[in-house]
Amino acid sequence: MCGIIGYIGFRDAKEILVDSLKRLEYRGYDSAGIAIIDKKQQLFKDIGEIDEIKKNLPDFKGTIGIGHTRWATHGGVTKENAHPHLSSNKKIAVVHNGIIENFTKLRDNLKKKGYKFLSQTDTEVIAQLIEDNYTGNLEKAVFSALKKVEGYYAIVVTCTDEPDKIVGARKDSPLVIGVGDNENYLASDVTAFLKYTNRVVYLNDGELCIISNKEIRIFDEKNIPIERKENLIKWDLKDAEKSGFPHFMLKEIYDQPETVHHVIRGRISEIYRTIEFNEKVENLLKNGINSINIIACGTSYYAGLIGKYLVEKLTGIPVNVELSSEYRYFGTRNESSLVIAVTQSGETLDTLAALKEAKNSGCKTLVVTNVVGSTATRISDAYILTQSGPEIGVAATKTFTSQILVLFLLALKISIIKNKIGADELYKYILQLKELPRNVRQILNQSKKISGIASKLKNANSVFFIGRGLNYPLSLEGALKLKEISYIHAEGFAAGELKHGPFALLTKTTPVVVIVTKDSTYAKMIANIGEVKARGPQVIAIAEDSDTEIDKHADFVLPFPSNSGLLSCVPITVILQLLAYHVANLRECSIDKPRNLAKSVTVE
C-alpha cells in the first residue's frame, strides 16, 4: 500500500526523492522518509504529508538514496515506524511495501542475537536480517535474507559499504526499474520517475535487481542472471499532473471523453464491423466459453456487475460476479469457466490471490487492468489494458468507465464468436460507442447544474441511490463514490428492494437519487419515486433527455442523452461522479486523498 523510490546517478538525490514521493503520495500518505548516502546513511522521516515533511528536511547531499511514503499496516502511524528503516549498525537502509508474515519469529531470533529494534514494523526485520547475512556483498545478503522471509514484498536497499549500488527485490508487490543515462531508478510505480525517464524494465515475482548509475542486473529466484528488454511508456508527464484542475479527481472525470476514445481505439472496426483484441485474448475467447466468473473489489466489482448484465444480454452466457476476497476462499471453480479479474491497479492483493486460486484450479484467466506490467498482467493467461492513463485520485473514475467499456467490447466479441449477433446490431453498437465521447462531454457541460443539486445534498446525513437492471450497480457505485469522498453515509439499492427494509430509514432529510431509463422498468421506477416521495425525501432523478414526464415526479432532474442505449451507463456514471465530487468539494473534503483510504490495496 506504500510508495517506494530509489535513485542512483549524478543529480541531487534529495530533490528527486522528494519529487517522486510527492507523485507517489496517492499510494499512502500517513508518513514518509528518505535515506541518502553521504559516507553514512543520512536519514529523515516523519509523520504527515510530503509537503509538510519537506519543510523540515535537512540539506542532505548525495546522489544515491531511497524514499518511502507509507500507509500503515504493521505498527501505528509514528515517526519510528515510518520508512526507511536502518539496520543496527546503521549501514543498511530499507524501504518496503508488503507484509512479512513470519516477522515476529524472525524478530525474536534476531533479538536473541543482540539486534536492537526501534520500531514495531516488519520492515525493520528485513534491514536487520540483511545485516545479519552481510559479508561484503549487498545483493548476496539480500538474497539470503529473503530466503528466510514469508509473505510478500517489494524492497529497495542501500548500504554505505557499497555506495555505488541499489538492490531491489519483489514478490507479489510492484517494483519497476526506470532507465536513465548515467542514472537509474527503482519505484513501485512508473509515475514516480516519469518526469525523468519513460524507459522502464519490469521485474517479475521472485526477481532481484542491482542498479548502479551505469548498469542494471537482474537475477531470478534461483540467482541465475536474466536479460530483460526495456519498454517505453507512452504516458505523458502531463497525464500524471493536474493540468490546471483543482483536484486530480476532477481532471480524471474530465479526461473521460478522451479515455473512452482510447479504450475503443484499435479495437472496433467500423469498416469491417468487428471487434479486435490482442492474439492471446482472441485465443482465450475462441476456446469455447460456457460460463464466466468475474472477480474484483470495490468500484471494479461494480464494473463487474455491469459486465454481467452486458455479457448475459449479448451472449446468453451465465456470468457470476464475486468479490475477490470471498472468491479466494469460497468461490466455485469450474475448469471450463473463464475467470475475468477486473482491477484498475492490477495490484489489489485479494484480486491477485483470487486470480491465483482460479489458475491453480485450472481455469483460464483474463485480466482487465489499467497498469501495464502490473502483477495481475503477469500471472494471468491474457490481459486487456483499459488505456486510461495514470489515475491519481484515490476514487476510481475514468478507469471505471473504461472497465465497463472493455467488458462491453468483450461481450460483443463473444457474441460474434458465438454467432449471437447480426451485422446490423453490431454496427448499431459500434456507432453508439463512437458517439459516447460526445455524450460524456454533454454531461461535463452540465457540471454547474450538478453542482447546484449537490448543494441540496451537502448537509444530508444519508443519501440513497436506487435503480433497476444496469442502474442497480450504478446506484451502488454512486453511493460508494459519495461516501468515500464526502463522508456522507450513502447506500445503493435495487429499486424493488426499498420496501423490504430500507424504507424504515426514509425521512425528509434522506434525499434519494433515482436512476430512470425508458425501458421495460420505467413504469415501476415512476411508482417507486411515488413511494419514496410519500415518505418525505426529495427525489433527484437521473433520466433520459427525451423523458418529458419525469419532471412531474421528481424534485430535480439531471438528464443524460437518450441515444446511448445500453451504453447509457457511461454518461450516468459521469453524472454520479460529478455529483459526489461537488458534494465533497462543498464540504471541503480531502477529495484526492480521502481519510483512511489509499489507491491500491495491497493488504488483506
Q: Minimum Å distance from CB 63 to ligand F6R?
A: 34
Stretch that binds ligand F6R, among 49-57, 113-121, 294-302, 528-536 (CB under 6 A): 294-302
Q: Give least dist CB 370 to ligand F6R, A.
A: 8
Query: Residues 173, 184, 343, 402: which binds ligand F6R (CB under 6 A)?
Result: 343
Buried b (16+ CB within 10 A) or exposed e, 325-351: bebbeebebbeebbbbbbbbbbbbbbb
Least Cβ distance, residue 259 to ligand F6R (angstroms): 15
Which CB, 70 or 599, lies closer to ligand F6R?
599
Q: Which stretch binds ligand F6R (CB under 6 A): 192-200, 339-347, 443-451, 570-578?
A: 339-347
Nearer to ligand F6R, 493 or 581 (CB): 581
DSSP string, 464-497: EEEESTTHHHHHHHHHHHHHHHH--EEEEEEGGG
For ligand F6R, give the closer residue by CB, 122 or 350: 350
Quickly tell me which residue has 539480500 as its cell. 142
Choose which of 299, 337, 388, 486 interacts with ligand F6R (CB under 6 A): 299
345 binds ligand F6R (CB under 6 A): yes
CB of 365 to ligand F6R, least distance (A): 15
Q: Give me the helix-helix angle, 398-417 and 298-315, nearest 10°.
A: 20
Rounded least distance, CB 442 to ligand F6R, Å:
24
Ramachandran area for residue 277 (φ above 0: left; ψ -120 to 50: alpha; else beta) = beta
Give every CB contact of residue 326 below 8 A, 6+ residues apart in sequence.
none
With CA atoms as reference, report the closest residue to 339 among 372, 371, 304, 373.
304
Site for ligand F6R in 453-482 (CB under 6 A): 480
Q: Give the ranges where 138-239 is alpha helix by DSSP (H).
A: 138-147
Residue from 81, 133, 213, 348 in contact with ligand F6R (CB under 6 A): 348
- Residue with smaller CB distance to ligand F6R, 162 or 484: 484
Does 601 sit near ligand F6R (CB under 6 A)? yes
Smallest distance, ligand F6R to C-beta of residue 55, A: 30
Whole-number Cα distances in Å, 269 to 281, 566, 585: 17, 19, 40
Name which position in 259, 300, 388, 538 contacts ligand F6R (CB under 6 A). Answer: 300
Helix and strand numbers (H, E) in the chain are 18, 27
Q: Is 227 exposed, middle or buried (0-12, 13-18, 19+ CB in 10 A)?
A: exposed
* Candidate segments 9-17, 83-91, 202-210, 291-299, binder of ligand F6R by CB under 6 A: 291-299
Q: Which of these ranges, 172-180, 224-232, 281-289, 292-300, lies near ligand F6R under the rule CB under 6 A?
A: 292-300
# chain residues binding ligand F6R, by CB under 6 A = 15
Judged on CB neighbours under 10 Å (0-12, 13-18, 19+), 241 is middle
The answer to whether 179 and 218 are in contact (CB under 8 A) is: no
**Closest approach of ligand F6R to the CB of residue 537, in Å:** 25
Judge contact between 599 and 490, C-beta under 8 A. no
Q: Cα(500)–Cα(506) distance, rounded to whole angstroms?
A: 12
344 binding ligand F6R? (CB under 6 A): yes
Q: List the beta strands (DSSP E) in 172-271.
A: 176-179, 184-187, 199-202, 208-211, 216-219, 225-226, 231-232, 268-269
3-state secondary structure 181-198: CCCEEEECCHHHCCCCCC
Considering only 35, 36, 339, 396, the residue that binds ligand F6R (CB under 6 A) is: 396
The catalytic residues are 2, 599
26 or 44: CB nearest ligand F6R: 26
CB closer to ligand F6R out of 82 and 349: 349
Question: Minimum CB separation from ligand F6R for residue 402, in Å?
Answer: 11
Interface with ligand F6R, residue 600, by CB under 6 A: yes
Choices 107-115, 135-143, 209-217, 298-306 (CB under 6 A): range interacting with ligand F6R: 298-306
Given the rule CB under 6 A, which of 30-38, 114-122, 297-305, 415-423 is the region that contacts ligand F6R? Answer: 297-305
Min dist CB 391 to ligand F6R, Å, is: 8
Binding region for ligand F6R (CB under 6 A) out of 188-196, 311-319, 343-351, 523-531: 343-351
Residues 345/598, Cβ–Cβ less than 8 Å: no
- For the bound state, the minimum distance from the C-beta of residue 380 to ligand F6R, rounded and expressed in Å, comes to 13
Q: Which is nearer to ligand F6R, 27 or 45 (CB)?
A: 27
Nearest one of 513, 523, 521, 516 to 492, comparing CA atoms? 513
Per-residue binding string, ligand F6R, 145-184, x by CB under 6 A, is ----------------------------------------
Instruction: Please state the φ and ψ torsions of residue 559, each to the nearest 5 degrees.
Output: -85, 150
Does residue number 297 form part of the binding site for ligand F6R (CB under 6 A)? yes
Q: String of b and e for 71-88 (b: at least 16 CB within 10 Å)?
A: bbbbbeebebbbbbbbbb
Using omega within 30 degrees of 0 as the cis cutoff, is the peptide bond preceding 225 cis? no
Which residue lies nearest ligand F6R, judged by its C-beta? 298
409 interacts with ligand F6R by CB under 6 A = no
Q: Could you please report the per-residue DSSP string of 87-105?
A: -TTS-EEEEEEEEETTHHH
Smaller CB separation from ligand F6R, 119 or 375: 375
Residue closer to ligand F6R, measured from CB, 393 or 571? 393
Give me the least distance between CB of 296 and ligand F6R, in Å please: 6
Assess 351 for contact with ligand F6R (CB under 6 A).
yes
Residues between 482 and 501 with contacts to ligand F6R, criterion CB under 6 A: 484
Would you tell me how many other CB atoms lie within 10 Å of the CB of residue 55? 8
Question: How many angstroms separate the CA atoms of 68 and 31, rounded?
Answer: 8
Site string for ligand F6R, 505-524 (x = CB under 6 A): --------------------
Distance CA 111, CA 105 (A): 10
Q: What SS3 class is residue 145? A: helix
Which is nearer to ligand F6R, 346 or 469 (by Cβ)?
346
Cell numbers that stand for 303 in this block:
464494473
| Bridging pattern class, strands 184-187 and 208-211 | unpaired
Choice between 323 and 554, CB closer to ligand F6R = 323
In the 8-state DSSP scheme, what is residue 332?
A: -
The footprint of ligand F6R (CB under 6 A) covers 297-300, 343-345, 348, 351, 395-396, 480, 484, 600-601
